Structure 1
Amino acid sequence: MPARLSAEVRQYLLITGNYWAFTLTDGALRMLVVLHFHQLGYTPLQVAMLFLFYEIFGVVTNLVGGWLGARIGLNRTMNIGLAMQVVALAMLLVPPAALTVAWVMAAQALSGIAKDLNKMSAKSSIKLLVPGDAQAALFRWVAALTGSKNALKGIGFFLGGALLAAIGFRGTVALMAGVLALVWAASLLLLRRDLGRSKAKPKFRDILSKSRAINLLSAARLFLFGARDVWFVVALPVFLYDVLGWDFWQVGGFLAAWVIGYGFIQSVTPRVVGRQAGATAVSRRAPGWAFALAVVPFAMAGLLSAASYPAGIVVTVGLGVFGILFAVNSALHSYLIVAYASEDGVSLDVGFYYMANAMGRLLGTVLSGWIYQTQGLPACLAWSGGFVLLAALLSLALPRHDRQSPAIFPTGDTP
């Protein structure tokens, strides 16, 4: 990296470290809540409802948080997110009798706000740390941040399941709150204070995107993440625990391995999809990858319904193939939003896009509990396939008229 970018690289590493630490706690907390409350006798739909406010407030946070980041700076929105996650974790340290559904939902609401402030800040910051003409570097940096984040989320899933078995719910939550408080203190001291603040103060009405490309991409993102969460969030861990008879360690470890592998594929997507960068080249590839992904959940649903193969093999192998294709689709979207976003006030566009992402998670989470409880895992997978098809059709309409598409990997320049 050239010497002139050394300060930017330092900031990138700090932002990535913040994002990593937050993601570990977010992944672990998700697994803790699903397994702990299912063990207490909550139905799949009731477990899904615990995340309802998490996802609803994520939608609102992404929409308003982008505007807030443009006005006060991304360093502040990132630090606010870290602090709020510490408070959300602390809320779960009350005596067990006080852990009512309403209280847990409130803590999850705070955690949802924190997560999306942190993610929006991290993704928006990359646009500002890479020169505007360096699309190759931008694609690699976005892929590396996104992929590493998901790998750490997978480790968080494993830690959540493992620590729940080893030191219990309260001990795990207390440990995470303490570590994240230290990360927050370091971020307050080291993160650049003018990062992402717009030169022209945006008005509140500017939070709604006016770009056709961003609107289409956001709609595709909504259905892509709805397709994942409609079976992954509640249905899958409960199916592994109840139907296949796996214990907490096995459930957490398997889902962790999946998310880690998914994150690795995201990080190497620039190598996977070809040697052309730029929004035009990537948007041309997006529909094909989405159509390929749609085949997987439909095939899994058919195999499980026919009972022609052992359910454990169908789920584990199918999830692996789904993870590879989903990772590529997600990485393509993550690059496109940063490429499409306006540089001045980038968080407005990124926040709008992640609002759609959060709406997809909300839809998928609620449907995951309801459809699994009433119809089973094959129905969740059929819904997943339908959502991916909608994402693919929307991707066909993405703009493809730019005249230049620089190489992702110029001679001698590899990630």
Structure 2
Amino acid sequence: MLAKLQALPSAVKQYLVVTGNYWAFTLTDGALRMLVVLYFHQLGFDPLSIAMLFFFYELFGVVTNLVGGYLGAKIGLNRTMNIGLGLQVFALAMLLVPTSWLTIVWVMIAQALSGIAKDLNKMSAKSSIKLLVPDDAQGKLYQWVAILTGSKNTLKGVGFFLGGVLLTCFGFQLAILIMAVALALVWVLSLVLLKQDLGKATTKPKFSQLFSKSRAINYLSGARMFLFGARDVWFVVALPVFLASQFDWDHWYVGGFMALWVIGYGIVQSFAPHFTGKKQGKVPDGKAAFIWAALLAGIPALIALSLSYEVAIETALIGGLMLFGVVFAINSSLHSYLIVSYADGDGVSLDVGFYYMANAMGRLIGTVLSGWLFGSYGLVVCLWVSAIFVVMAALLSLSLPRHTHSEV
């Protein structure tokens, strides 16, 4: 086995290192989220206080993706990825303090560092693939991006389960210690194995380059912001609370269902190329982005109509959620390929960082709206806003370049 690994091309070995880093980080990220939610619920924290623990996690994602892209071009993606892994180890270590120190402010700071670490890691992983695949191998690029993106979300769902298991078997602090030690080992391996200066721009990037000047990337980033806002406006707060309050599902049932949804969503992302033209030897373009967004827009609208007229509410919501997950996963994977394809090879992280800044902004907007709209108006309004957001993503996709690449 070791001999086979050593015989692999350099690009493939680097891809495996990047993917391994991303997988290890994602497992701890998902597990940490579940550990924090369950543990602080046990301590008697109210839902709003628990939600506030993650506010800086999302907020700092916006800034990190923007500045992280600049850092990646300036110092290299290997360094930004390793900084992300190191920050996550530090964030985990912050939670090993005595229980009396675990105040809301302290945990918010730890979560802020974890959010910075997550987005540095993600930006570095997505940008690196652009540099490991030749420009004339767009089919392979799409496949590699789809596998990385899909596996990340699958493992995030697994991380939810892992967090619950670790908390049950070992308690909060020992669970955190186990994850910190395991991720520290991955960090050391990454420092040794990851190629030096990967993604470092040949010319010194200017800070003004943080904001993309590419028309295609600007439109794609706008579409991404609305796409993820459309998911989180009903998925993050409104859906789990609705399932618990209206269907009388207990917390474990709700958490398990959400975790399985994320796992399934990730699996579909990995196979997205098979739904978007791989059999015909093509990779997607702006037209494909518009078509898949248009298909997605009708799903939350149909669920909203079913809930409004009280027609098979449980079937419509659960079935609609499954269908939404499949079509959304294809949209997300398609977008992830397009940004890597559009990005400039020299200083690729600048473009990818700007794009994922818009992604983080969409998550933040969706999360805030989810709590406010659901509390004030209910799930139906959240679903209608979701449909409007997807329509906006589809309209922006009309301005994306249209091209046809043959798979190589």
Match of 2:306 in 1: 303
Query: Per-residue deviation at 1:342?
Result: 0.3
- Following the alignment from structure 2 to structure 1, what is the Cα–Cα distance between the partners of residues 309 and 160? 31
Contact 2:84 2:121 in 1 (8 A): yes
CA 1:266–1:334 in structure 2 vs 1: closer, same or farther (change >3 Å)?
Answer: same
Match of 2:147 in 1: 144
CA 1:44–1:364 in structure 2 vs 1: closer, same or farther (change >3 Å)?
Answer: farther
Match of 1:115 in 2: 118
Query: Per-residue deviation at 1:307?
Result: 2.9
1:368-401, CA deviations, whole angstroms, 9 ceiling, x for partnerless residues? 222233333333222222211111111111122x
Match of 1:6 in 2: 9
- Following the alignment from structure 1 to structure 2, what is the Cα–Cα distance between the partners of residues 4 and 134? 21
Residue correspondence of structure 1 range 321-332 to structure 2 within 5 A: 321-332=323-334
CA 1:227–1:286 in structure 2 vs 1: closer, same or farther (change >3 Å)?
Answer: same
Contact 2:296 2:328 in 1 (8 A): yes
Moved more, 29-38 or 198-207: 29-38
Moved more, 379-388 or 257-266: 379-388
Residue correspondence of structure 1 range 190-209 to structure 2 within 5 A: 190-209=193-212
Query: Per-residue deviation at 1:119?
Result: 0.3
Q: Which runs of 5+ in 2 are unaligned?
A: none
- Following the alignment from structure 2 to structure 1, what is the Cα–Cα distance between the partners of residues 323 and 169? 31
CA 1:134–1:178 in structure 2 vs 1: closer, same or farther (change >3 Å)?
Answer: same
Moved more, 340-349 or 294-303: 294-303
Match of 1:174 in 2: 177
- Following the alignment from structure 1 to structure 2, what is the Cα–Cα distance between the partners of residues 108 and 127? 29
Query: Per-residue deviation at 1:74?
Result: 0.5
Residue correspondence of structure 1 range 404-415 to structure 2 within 5 A: 405-408=404-407
1:19-65, CA deviations, whole angstroms, 9 ceiling, x for partnerless residues? 00111111122233344445555555444332221111111111111
Match of 1:104 in 2: 107
Kindly indicate whether residue 148 of structure 2 is the aligned counterpart of residue 135 of structure 1: no
Match of 1:255 in 2: 258
CA 1:331–1:387 in structure 2 vs 1: closer, same or farther (change >3 Å)?
Answer: same
CA 1:90–1:183 in structure 2 vs 1: closer, same or farther (change >3 Å)?
Answer: same
CA 1:29–1:292 in structure 2 vs 1: closer, same or farther (change >3 Å)?
Answer: same
Match of 2:352 in 1: 350
**Alignment coverage as a number of residue pairs:** 403
Residue correspondence of structure 1 range 3-402 to structure 2 within 5 A: 6-38=9-41, 42=45, 44-275=47-278, 281-311=284-314, 313-400=315-402, 402=403
CA 1:394–1:37 in structure 2 vs 1: closer, same or farther (change >3 Å)?
Answer: farther
The residue identity in structure 1 corresponding to 2:298 is V
CA 1:381–1:47 in structure 2 vs 1: closer, same or farther (change >3 Å)?
Answer: farther
Give the superposed CA RMSD: 2.2
Match of 1:413 in 2: none
- Following the alignment from structure 2 to structure 1, what is the Cα–Cα distance between the partners of residues 174 and 247? 28
Query: Per-residue deviation at 1:113?
Result: 0.4
1:44-103, CA deviations, whole angstroms, 9 ceiling, x for partnerless residues? 544433222111111111111111011111011001001111111222233333322222
- Following the alignment from structure 2 to structure 1, what is the Cα–Cα distance between the partners of residues 60 and 100? 26
Query: Per-residue deviation at 1:295?
Result: 1.3
Moved more, 339-348 or 51-60: 51-60
The residue identity in structure 1 corresponding to 2:350 is L
Aligned-residue identity in percent: 65
Contact 1:161 1:253 in 2 (8 A): no
CA 1:222–1:407 in structure 2 vs 1: closer, same or farther (change >3 Å)?
Answer: same
- Following the alignment from structure 2 to structure 1, what is the Cα–Cα distance between the partners of residues 382 and 43? 24
Q: TM-score, normalised by structure 2?
A: 0.92
Moved more, 198-207 or 208-217: 198-207
CA 1:246–1:158 in structure 2 vs 1: closer, same or farther (change >3 Å)?
Answer: farther
Contact 1:45 1:373 in 2 (8 A): no
CA 1:91–1:352 in structure 2 vs 1: closer, same or farther (change >3 Å)?
Answer: same
- Following the alignment from structure 1 to structure 2, what is the Cα–Cα distance between the partners of residues 184 and 361? 28
Helix, strand or coil at the partner of 1:192? coil
Query: Per-residue deviation at 1:194?
Result: 1.8
- Following the alignment from structure 2 to structure 1, what is the Cα–Cα distance between the partners of residues 336 and 97? 38
Q: Which runs of 5+ in 1 are unaligned?
A: 411-415
